Chains A and B, each alone.
Chain A
Amino acid sequence: MTDTVIKINQLTKDYGKGRGIFDVDLDVHRGEVFGYVGTNGSGKTTTIRQIMGFVRPDKGQSSVLGYDSWKNATKIMQYVSYIPGEIAFPSLASGTDFLKLQAEYQGVTDFSYMNHVIELLQLDPTANLKRMSKGMKQKTAIVAALMADKEILVMDEPTTGLDPLMRDAFLNLVREEKEKGRTIFMSSHIFEEIEEVCDRVAMIKDGHIVDTLELWQLRHWKTKTFRIYFSSKEELARFTEAFRFVIGKKEAQLCCTVEMPVEETSHLFHILKDYQVSSLREEHLSLEQYFMQVYQKGANKNGKC
């Protein structure tokens, strides 16, 4: 039995007009990076606010390390670092001012980790807090959250505003945290980054969780899909007749698609030795494609009710 860190049970917060979240169930285990994806306005931030105890649930409950999010919000904050989705700082002069105050709030006295993060993100905290660019502000928010080096990290779209290089640096930071055994909950609408770092992903649509999946499954699919191009029509025809896992073929392009259990892969290659193959490509199902599939399904399902 894995150790559950964040547990959300039948959580409902109805803002009316179909907005809000409805009967959300989630379990985040210790030491995993949990991704939370969904389109804008699908309820990601609402869920996170529930976890952080900023909002009282209408129904159900959310708990962190066994403490109720709403009743024991302050207790939870001793173990949770938070990066808000909206970047807004108190009206202070400089980033340094802000970080110093944050350190005081969190009781941080050892700044070595903070300096490490600052270095990694190449942040200049002495800049004027109000004049900072979006990316700079986001980096400052990341530093503010990470400096306390707490067990659990809750991040609401932490990469908004970061350039691709900085995003990579940030994702490395997430991996680093994961290696230290931290539990990370991050929301995003950028699939690549979720795919890159997360262990599990939950998808939310219109306030309902439509699917939760292990990214390991996505990376190590039980069935494999290949697209095979042949040198001539005859070769293509000969192959489609002989091989039973063909699911589609395009004669004009001299290609066909095969989908089969992973165990059959070596068998396929064995057969292909006898054909004149011009190229072969594995069709990799990305999270985004998977998401689209599920989303459409979810749309149909929710459309009815």
Chain B
Amino acid sequence: MGNVKKETRFFSGTLMKQNVKSNYVLVVAILVIMILMCVVTNFAKSMIGADKSSADVTDAQQEFYSYLYVMASYNDMAQTALSYDDFEKASDKSQYEAAFELMNQQADMELSVEGLEQAAAELKQSDISLDTYVHQFEYTYALGQVKGCFSGEELDIEDMMNTMFEVMGVPADLVENMSEMDMTSMLDQMHFTVMAILPMLLFIVFASNSLLVDQVDQGSMAYVLSTPTRRSAVVITQAAFLLIAPFLILTVTCAARIISTFVIFGEADVLEIIVLYVGMYILLEAIAGICYLGNCIFNQSKKAMAFGGGLSVWFFIASLMGMFGSKNMVDSGMGVEALGIFNRLTLIGLYDIESISTVGTDSLNTAFIWKLGILAAIAVICYVAGAIRFQKKDLPL
């Protein structure tokens, strides 16, 4: 017979072609969602970052307040009515120059009209208006003069605020945490452990199901296995698809993340982003391995779906609950520490965003490496076990 074809033992290009043809719509849809989401998260990060730019004006604020202090004490001394409001409007600044000159001589300082203008200009870059700063200074100045009537200690504005919050039932350290809360890292954690995981989990559950068990359940696998294509070639090809497709999606998404970070922030920690996505890939492969194993064990699509899909949903929900137990969330008052236990009940908990975020800094925390190692081991074991099982089981074709 002229038509006898050599048997395909390890990899079937034809089957891969078939996989691509029947799954590319899903791949493209998930890819679009992933890219959109990572760009949106980056954009949201930049918005938070803009809010936080006020943190950079502490120096200017200090400087500005010392000018205001000088003006206030000069007013007390010389019975004048200097104020920043007036300073800004006045075309003739000689009065202020004179005041600063005097103070320079008295206290050995280097005050000047230009200095004040510069400090004000810097401070204006924050979103908070100068009027608010001036008003806050008025409180600070007023309290600075007064001592507590019982304690005799000096009163200051921060102490007053804390006291007020405590009266309202809000712990003082929470207020402090809130002002120092790192919204960007929280957003990143949300993005990498919840938001970006969800579409990828959907992809893995649906794609893995369509690769093996669905074709066995429906019977279309017969058209592959009644040709000189070994079962080993089928399992290897399908595993390869399940390894390659998420890799491609995450590679493109990673590139989109790096590019959008450069566009939005002007700089990017490329290494950290790459490690984040490599970590996510290993995590997803561990879950994909579990789905693949279910696919190889069961002959009924719904059973495999219940196994792989059920575990994936559990991992996701547990990760969501775990997020509310994470340090960031607890610090911000939105989480409860007890929920942190969920991070131990999901594979996603082994994807350690916090320690990965130390990549590229001096205080590198390598805890993420062994955690990813566990995930990689799970992936390998599941893939191998599944592949062996599929070759030995009865197929209803």
Contact = CB atoms under 8 A, between A and B. Distances in A.
B108 interface: no
B21 A97 contact: yes
B275 interface: no
A76 to B, nearest CB: 9
A89 B220 contact: yes
Nearest to B215: A90
A101 B219 contact: no
B62 interface: no
Nearest to A80: B226
Contacts of B218: 86, 88
B277 to A, nearest CB: 29
B19 to A, nearest CB: 9
A105 interface: yes
Contacts of B392: 56
Given A54-B395, A144-B223, A74 B230 contact: yes
A84 B222 contact: yes
Interface stretch (B4-12, B165-173, B183-191, B303-311): B4-12
B350 to A, nearest CB: 34
B395 A101 contact: no
Contacts of A90: 18, 22, 215, 220, 223
Given A56-B394, A81-B226, A86-B219, A107 B22 contact: no
A148 interface: yes
Interface residues of A, number: 39
A38 B17 CA distance: 39
Interface string B315-353: 000000000000000000000000000000000000000
A106 B397 contact: no
B394 A107 contact: no
A160 B316 CA distance: 45
B125 interface: no
A152 to B, nearest CB: 11
Interface string A72-104: 011101111110101111111100011001101
B170 to A, nearest CB: 57
A108 B394 contact: no
B210 A106 contact: no
B224 A105 contact: yes
Interface in B104-131: none
B77 interface: no
Given A74-B229, A84-B222, A108 B397 contact: no
Contacts of A193: none
B223 A92 contact: no
Contact of A77 (B210, B219, B220, B228): B228
A96 B222 CA distance: 18
Given A92-B18, A106-B227, A75 B7 contact: yes
A92 B22 contact: yes
A223 to B, nearest CB: 43
Contact of A105 (B6, B22, B210, B227): B227
A21 interface: no
Contacts of A87: 219
A258 interface: no
Given A80-B226, A88-B218, A148-B3, A55 B394 contact: yes
B70 to A, nearest CB: 78
Given A92-B21, A97-B21, A144-B223, A78 B4 contact: yes
A110 B2 CA distance: 10
Given A74-B7, A74-B228, A88-B218, A150 B395 contact: no
B360 interface: no
B228 A106 contact: yes
Given A88-B220, A92-B22, A52 B226 contact: yes
A54 B396 contact: yes
B41 to A, nearest CB: 33
Contacts, number: 108
A102 B225 contact: no
B18 A108 contact: no
A77 B2 CA distance: 14
B228 A78 contact: yes
Nearest to B227: A105
Contact of A79 (B4, B12, B21, B210): B4
B149 interface: no
Contacts of B1: 79, 149-151
Contacts of A105: 12, 14-15, 223-224, 227-229
Interface string A170-211: 000000000000000000000000000000000000000000
Contacts of B4: 78-79, 107
Contacts of A89: 220, 223
A102 B220 CA distance: 12
A78 B5 contact: yes
A77 B227 CA distance: 5
A81 B226 CA distance: 7
B227 A102 contact: yes
Contact of A54 (B14, B227, B394): B394
Given A101-B17, A107-B3, A91 B22 contact: yes
Contact of A82 (B12, B210, B226): B226
Nearest to A49: B397
Interface string B1-43: 1111111010010110110011000000000000000000000
A88 B395 CA distance: 15
Contacts of A106: 3, 5, 227-228
Nearest to B12: A105
Given A54-B396, A105-B223, 8 more contacts: A54-B225, A75-B7, A75-B228, A82-B222, A90-B220, A98-B223, A105-B15, A105-B224
Please give me the 4 A-B residue pairs with the lowest Cβ-Cβ distance, nearest first: A107-B5, A82-B226, A88-B218, A105-B227
Interface of B: 1-7, 9, 12, 14-15, 17-18, 21-22, 210, 215, 218-220, 222-231, 392, 394-397
5 contacts: A78-B228, A86-B218, A92-B18, A105-B228, A107-B6
